[in-house]
Amino acid sequence: MELIVASTVGVLTAGGVYLMLRLRTFPVILGLALLSYAVNVFIFASGRLSIDQSPILSPYGEASYTDPLPQALVLTAIVISFGMTAVLVMIGLGAFFESETDRIDIDTADDAAAPEKDTQA
């Protein structure tokens, strides 16, 4: 079970880093989402992967339980990452509507060809 979870975290991280290195806005946002999912799975797995265990200590002396703190942290992280993804999508859309392209690289040849604007009035 641990091998599957570790492989999943590795694949999500690799896919997220690959997408973040792209030159378009939308793949970068998807890469950040994949990285947040990888972190969430990692935090969730740190609370011990046990099946059919109670999330609290039992009054009957059983020593095995599932730690509820990583579950609460992951739930909070999911909500925060959803909000940040929405903010990034709106920033990306604003940049797309302003420049009519979703490329995020800076082309210096276009900047050199553009005439300087007079800032003094």
Query: For the segment 83-101, what is each residue's pLDDT rounded down to a tens digit?
Result: 999 999 998 898 888 888 8
At CB < 8 A and 24+ separation, what contacts does 102-110 make?
102/24, 102/25, 102/26, 103/23, 103/24, 103/25, 104/23, 104/24, 104/25, 104/28, 105/23
Q: Provide the pLDDT confidence category of residue 16 given band limits of 50, 70 and 90.
A: very high
36 and 10 in contact (C-beta within 8 Å)? Answer: no
The CATH architecture one would assign to domain 2-49+65-106 is Orthogonal Bundle (1.10)
Q: Provide the pLDDT confidence category of residue 17 given band limits of 50, 70 and 90.
A: very high
Q: What's the pTM value of the predicted model, to 2 decimals?
A: 0.71
- Which residues face 24 on adjacent strands? 103
Q: What is the mean pLDDT of residues 96-107?
A: 78
- Residue 61 identity (one-letter amino acid): G
Cα separations in angstroms, 87 against 20, 83, 94? 17, 6, 11
Which residue's entry shows tokens 């109670």?
54
Q: What is the mean pLDDT of residues 23-47?
A: 89
